[in-house]
Structure 1
Amino acid sequence: MRVFILAGEPSGDRLGGALMAGLKELRPDVRFEGIGGPEMTAQGLQSRFDMSELSVMGLAEILPRYRALMARINQTAQAVLEMKPDVLITIDSPDFSLRVARRVKARSGIRTVHYVAPTVWAWRPGRAEKMARYVDHVLALFPFEPPYMEAAGMRCDFVGHPVVAEPQATVAEAEMFRARNKLGDAPLLLVLPGSRQSEVARLGPVFQQVVARLQLERPEMRVVIPAAAPVVAAVRRLTQNWSPAPIILNPLAEDVADPAAEKRAAFRAADVALAASGTVSLELAASETPMVIAYDMNWLSRQIIGRMVKVDTVTLVNLVSETRAVPEFIGANCRPGPIAAEVLKVLAAPEAQLEAMRVTMDRLGRGGEAPGLRAARAVLAGMSNT
């Protein structure tokens, strides 16, 4: 069995690595070619070029590299056509991967599978119909997504979200985290201002005011910030005058044996979190950490996105659990006073949110077969039905 598989960013590389492991388990004769990162390389892929070339976001970042990216798209599509695989699997990164799939489909009958459904349930529903012209099969991370893809004419299987397969800290590890940082029984606030410079720049001052208000109400409260690698310096600048000083977890710190385990322990030790909108809400749900979500953007983006969004919540826990248990403050509502008040409410009464988080994890596949293996089974089943 021959598979051409490609991913364009770290999250896709993780999905790809797990899927490749599943395919190897089910089909030991499988052979891979394509593009990926360290997780996919560990499963035997020799990437045709460094995946980091594709990890760009935003118009300003893409424009200077447009010609180089288009050349990589054409080069990749040609490589697929020359290999003539049994299936082409593209993972997320739609600006790159779907352009490859479209070129391949225009010149061949190669089966195409796309892993991670576009968020047509939230905005731009027409994307599904366009995608159906060159994608045969979609692997979805959320259980409510298949009907949207199937309505557009594609096969779609819910295969589970990778968050359910990620390790979680134990109570003992959380207690050790508190002991190492001399936290005692103090209420612990987890602050997650985003993983991009632009997010920290925009949300940081708001989050700073929230923390100041909370510490007036609860002077004993302590703060921990698990900083993403690209924004460690920005977080340090933001918090240099905070009192008491927050605990900043640096994933690049050489004196920490396992930064990922340290982050998991912080999540489990925290009593409540203030987080930027995004998939981090699922990480918090997996660790059973109650949360308040906040996000803002520039005025123009607010106007455009506000007119396009089709749902009344952007928090994945709310969407999957079909509740509105997680408070969110988006756009013009991203204001320190109301956010701080809601954090205190959640801290005092987290029960409804904890139940919604448990429902979310169950619906995403917790306790079942690993998502990578489920995805592999879905790929093989789709091929056998063609």
Structure 2
Amino acid sequence: MTLVYVVAGEASGDVLGARLIAALRARRPDLRFAGIGGPRMAEQGVPSLFPYGELALMGLLEVLPRIFRLKRLLADAVADVAAKRPAVLVTIDSPGFTLRVAERVRPLGIPVVHYVAPQVWAWRPGRVVKLRQKVDRILCLLPFEPVFFESAGIPVTFVGHPVLESGADAGDAARFRAAHALPEADRPVIVMPGSRRMEVSRLLPVFGAALRLAEQRLPGLRPVVPVAPIVAEAVRHAAADWPVPPILVEGNDAKHDAFAAVAASGGAGLIKSGTSSLEMAVAGIPHVVAYRVNPVTAAIVRRLVKVPHASLVNLLAEREVVPERIQEACTPEALAETLLRPMLEPDVAAAQRAGFAESLAKLRAPEGLPSVAAAEAVLRMLERGSAA
């Protein structure tokens, strides 16, 4: 039986890996799978070599204390791939780890497909040359990425963005309100601080202070925080002193029900920069994008960033659809003011939603669902490998 080895380093990659495995298995029931992932891949019958939460780190100063442990995990991953000799290795996002695995495995002659193009087009574009030496094909999520990578000689397939099949727009608002006994007068707002512990520890205090200010101006706000299992306890601890106790939800169904309740009540979102902004766009929730990292990390990143926006919604629209409050601008006062605007001014909310439709239209690939397009690309790699 043909073995496909899948490496995902965080919660979003775990979801992509699970969908990819399901789509591959539907087309090739004979395939076997192994790898590194989380609960979603485990549901597909793929136990993880080690807990993938150990890889969920971000920022130069955050990684340094764990550097020796990360090196050990890298060596373990490479050794496992080498021992199992899969027909193809699929690395998913988390380039700091997954591409190091790819680089060390490539000399073994195992084809490498990297799913989710590293954003070298946004910062350090010169690194694309090194990327060409690590992977055989990239599966891109964004429509402007293929030209960039193809110009560097890297084969690319645009598969569309997985947020389009996330179900973020398919929740049940009434079910959410009933499940949490939420009074009709309460207006839920979505708070998404990220799936990494360092993000949560850095963002939730300022998010909590912003919500405290916002609630003073608009009583009845009720924060709802979707949490990944690896940060659930950290979120509970950080939100313990909030004036209005947050509703914590786990799992996609509960999260999407929360989205529906927020959208139906005219709420808004306070969102970490990243894919979460696209989820808000699919759900039709106006929001503000925020981010804050260690000042040293921020100073380094500012020298490297080559794009005008942090939000993917804004990058796709080529203008600021969603307000961004990054680093020094990520203050409680600024976040509270920006969060309240679409709830108090209908024209602001309507303008954001119009921009969402414009951005999301660019994410659709012609081949259909992103997971199906990704599976077809991996199968083509397998066919070429067997022919060789």
Deviations 1:299-339 (A, max 9, x none): 32332222211112101111123331101111222234443
- The 3 A distance-change label for structure 1 pair 188 and 101 is closer
Aligned-partner SS, 1:324:
coil
Q: Distance in 1 between matches of 2:272 and 2:208?
A: 13
> Do the aligned partners of 2:192 and 2:270 also contact (CA within 8 Å) in 1?
yes
TM-score of the two chains, using structure 1 as the length reference:
0.84
- Count the aligned residue pairs: 372
> Do the aligned partners of 1:118 and 1:128 also contact (CA within 8 Å) in 2?
no
Equivalent residue number for residue 165 of structure 1: 165
More off after superposition, 272-281 vs 52-61 = 52-61
- How much has 1:291 moved relative to structure 2? 0.6
Equivalent residue number for residue 226 of structure 1: 225
Does the alignment pair 1:369 with 2:377? no
> Do the aligned partners of 1:274 and 1:343 also contact (CA within 8 Å) in 2?
yes
In the TM superposition, what are the counterparts of 1:308-347 in structure 2 within 5 Å? 308-347=304-343
- How much has 1:119 moved relative to structure 2? 0.8
More off after superposition, 81-90 vs 285-294 = 81-90
Unmatched 5+ stretches in structure 2: none
Deviations 1:151-209 (A, max 9, x none): 221111121222221224657x3134346544325544333344445444444444344
More off after superposition, 126-135 vs 332-341 = 332-341
> Do the aligned partners of 1:321 and 1:356 also contact (CA within 8 Å) in 2?
yes
Equivalent residue number for residue 70 of structure 1: 71
Equivalent residue number for residue 238 of structure 2: 235
Larger radius of gyration: 1
- How much has 1:40 moved relative to structure 2? 2.8
- The 3 A distance-change label for structure 1 pair 126 and 82 is same
- The 3 A distance-change label for structure 1 pair 218 and 93 is closer
Does the alignment pair 1:287 with 2:283? yes
Equivalent residue number for residue 215 of structure 2: 215
Aligned-partner SS, 1:282:
helix
Does the alignment pair 1:154 with 2:154? yes
Equivalent residue number for residue 174 of structure 2: 175
Deviations 1:246-271 (A, max 9, x none): 442253xxxxxxx5433322222222
In the TM superposition, what are the counterparts of 1:48-87 in structure 2 within 5 Å? 48-58=49-59, 62-63=63-64, 65-87=66-88
- The 3 A distance-change label for structure 1 pair 146 and 248 is same
- The 3 A distance-change label for structure 1 pair 246 and 159 is same
Does the alignment pair 1:268 with 2:268? no
Aligned-partner SS, 1:369:
coil
- The 3 A distance-change label for structure 1 pair 194 and 78 is closer
Equivalent residue number for residue 21 of structure 2: 20
- The 3 A distance-change label for structure 1 pair 189 and 97 is closer
- The 3 A distance-change label for structure 1 pair 5 and 177 is closer
Does the alignment pair 1:380 with 2:376? no
Deviations 1:129-167 (A, max 9, x none): 111012110111222222222122111112122222122
Does the alignment pair 1:88 with 2:89? yes
Unmatched 5+ stretches in structure 1: 252-258
Aligned-partner SS, 1:135:
coil
Does the alignment pair 1:30 with 2:31? yes
Identity level (%): 41
- The 3 A distance-change label for structure 1 pair 177 and 89 is closer
